[in-house]
Amino acid sequence: MAAMVRNPLHEALQQAVRTIGPMLEQIDADVDRPTRMFRTGKVWTGPAAKQFDAQIAQFSSRARSSGQAIMDELRQVLSRTPTEVTEEEAASIKRKYRLS
């Protein structure tokens, strides 16, 4: 029976989740902060401001849903990726995905 080793692709996907998760949280915070400030009514008011607010809300929603879709996809792929593979498979995965 072939020796089993840690799957380098699984490890790379885990690292991607650990790296991208905080980045997406920071994006959410960076988008949310100015949106909240804008909605205080101290920045800009009037009909044009209401249109701009609607656009900000749309862009904010799109950024959040896109980030969530990225994380969902990564987690789905991670859940389908075995944690261990044979040494030969690990070497092949490293070559294919240029992992060190």
Cα 22 to Cα 41: distance, rounded to the nearest angstrom: 30
Other Cβ atoms closer than 10 A to 90: 19
What's the domain count of the chain?
1
Residue-wise pLDDT for 15-46, tens only, equals 999 999 999 999 999 988 888 888 898 888 89
Residue-wise pLDDT for 71-100, tens only, equals 999 999 999 999 999 999 999 999 999 998
Helices of type H across 42-100: 47-80, 87-97
Domain ranges, residue 23: 4-97
